[in-house]
Amino acid sequence: MKKLLGLIFLFLAVSSQAQFPDPNAKIYDPVKWSFSSEKLNDKEYNLIITAKIEKGWHVYSQFIEEGGPIPTSFKFQPSSDYKLVGKVTESPKAVTAFDKNFNMQIAWHKDQVVFKQKVSLLVPKTNITGTLEFMVCNDERCLPPAEVEFTIAIQAGSAQADMTVSVPEADSASSIVSSDSSSASLPSSSSASIQSDTDSSGGSLWAIFIAGFIGGLAAFFMPCIYPMIPLTVSFFTKKSGSRAKGIQSAIIYGLSIIVIYVALGLLITLIFGASALNEAASSATFNLLFFVVLVIFGISFLGAFEITLPSSLVNKMDEKSNQNGFLGLFFMAFTLALVSFSCTGPIIGTLLVDAVSKGSYLGPAIGMLGFSSALAIPFTLFAIFPSWLKEMPKSGGWLNTVKVSLGFLEIALAFKFLSNVDLAYHWGILNRDIFLIIWIIVFGLWALYLLGKIRLSHDNEINFLSLPRLFFSMLILGFTLYMVPGLWGAPLKAISAWLPPQVTQEFDLYSNRASSPAIAAGASGKKYSGLFHAPHGLDAFYDYEEGLAYAKTVNKPILIDFTGWSCTNCRKMEASVWPDKEVLRRLREDYVLISLYVDDKTELSEAEKYVSGFSGKKVNTIGQKWSDFQASRFGTNSQPYYVIADHEGKVLVPPQAYNLDISNYVNFLDKGKIAFGQK
């Protein structure tokens, strides 16, 4: 009966407030949760929490860094009856990819995901209660944060536990509407916003392998390795006695290089564990550490110092390399790895940092497989075809140029990790302007170095520019000039995934941030103005009642923008549709914009808190308030969602959701203005 009354209430609310409800509007409930347990022994059990996800939707993994989509999380009520053993695990492995809108690696699950928490009972039987929080999205919409309360009854010695789930007494789908959340962010749809070559984690591993392979090629041309090729090949051909044995030795040598570096990658995972790598990927502390490490590596490549291993270790491996057979070749490869560490160490460190930052437990090993393959293949091929050595460029100052160039590149890339920390903690230090200035300086100096205008202490004098050096200097100088307009707010789409968000730009002529004079005059001191900022100079309101009251004074219709802090599709609409001059003109001149953030965690004042008549849940935050308002008034809980209404809050034209067709949005705004004028 209560569910029926809830549906009737929803129907009456929508009917009375919206003359043109969106025919596609609905309360979405795409995830079904189930709870059970499995016995491990007389005292230990696994709590099993399963999410069945409707086709086309996805739930985010637990392992996502701050500042991105909200991860799935679990809170278990503390009790003296049991203790938690370890952390919650999830299977299957999450799909991962880089999201250029969040500027970070994210992970999600589709179809079904199983979470397990191991517990140890301290009493014969108990009820384990807790709350899980999750976010769900599809290609077009994201739902606000949702919480599900559960109770699992476990009795020692029983093979299976009983389970109960607590849901609101209103329609269960409405539990999505005003649920609490531990993070002020909304996820985005994966396929609409993620820039990935594949929808599986294999795409991420391939990217790590390719990065490792490129790093290996770069290491091959370093001063510590390149000059050793003729010596190593000569050793194989002379000591082996025959060409066949020389080829065999070269192959074993190459395979030994691969085994050594892959073992290093596996060792990283074994030492820290897969869960620690995931935590490192989402840890501000690790991102800050990565920044420092990469800067140190970059400075070492510029010639300030060399990172070397203890000479005693190198000498010991060199002695073992004199043995005959497989072991001798293996330790010979090991000696190469140790001797060349001053050149390869920073590259290896950078690759491992990149692999760890992607949160994949196979990442370090795959990265080292790519790196070692790029090193091993040339040694093997030159041993098989020694005549190729005649075609190799001779060693010289250009090898040091390669090393210094990698130093500039590593220093530039290091600031990406610092940017992650800056965004996560809202320091506001490394905004888009400062980041671009740093990159312009680094790449500009790199170009000048290649042109011979800058010389370091260990460089040889350049009497002329070779064609490769000239070509690369032109390429880097062109890239430097490409970034310059970004200082005035140009979007720089080619590198936008590496830059801090556009909204952090302090000096932005491109986005035309000048506020509408009419709105600015009436909107000074408006509610929540210190928390939210509209894009493109639009001076929006962030409280519905306040915006509606102002709209009456200027006799304009309102455009309600249901949005979220990290709703990627919301950002894509704001970046792709709103900047259009026709759209922007209409937003400024014809409407009063009211942007309502459904995921904001700012606490309401005690006087503003209430129990929702729609969902029956307590509304304690700004986000919960607008989420409840959207669902109860307009019958939907997805974002982005755009509603044009009059001064009584009545809908004038069918609302719009995610649609990047600019002409469609212009038509939507025009119809709304005409409908308002006809009232």
Q: Map out the domains of the chain as residue ranges.
A: 30-195, 201-394, 517-677
Cβ 141 vs Cβ 28: under 8 Å: yes
User: What are the CA-CA distances from residue 106 to residues 189, 194, 292, 578 (Å)?
Assistant: 11, 9, 23, 26
User: What are the CA-CA distances from residue 482 to residues 445, 486, 656 (Å)?
Assistant: 15, 8, 36
**pLDDT value at position 177?**
33
Q: Which pTM does this prediction carry?
A: 0.46
Amino acid at 14: V
CA 183 remoteness from chain centre: 15
Selection from 238, 186, 119, 152 nearest residue 568 by Cα? 186
Amino acid at 509: L
The tokens for 75 are 């809170």
Q: Note the CATH number of domain 30-195.
A: 2.60.40.1250
The tokens for 287 are 């991102």
Homologous superfamily assigned to 517-677:
Glutaredoxin (3.40.30.10)
**pLDDT value at position 69?**
75
Q: How far apart are CA 347 and CA 570, in angstroms?
A: 38
Residues of the chain predicted below pLDDT 50 = 1-24, 161-203, 274-275, 278-279, 281-282, 512-523
**pLDDT value at position 669?**
95
At residue 49, φ and ψ (nearest 5 deg) are -120, 115
- DSSP code, position 391: G
**pLDDT value at position 307?**
63
Q: ∠626-632-637 over CA atoms, to 5°?
A: 65
Cβ 96 vs Cβ 412: under 8 Å: no
Preceding omega of 310 cis (within 30 degrees of 0):
no
**pLDDT value at position 594?**
95
Report the chain's mean pLDDT, rounded to a whole number: 75
Domains 30-195 and 517-677 share a fold: no
- Find where tokens 């564990």 sit: 273
**pLDDT value at position 366?**
83
**pLDDT value at position 175?**
35
**pLDDT value at position 154?**
84
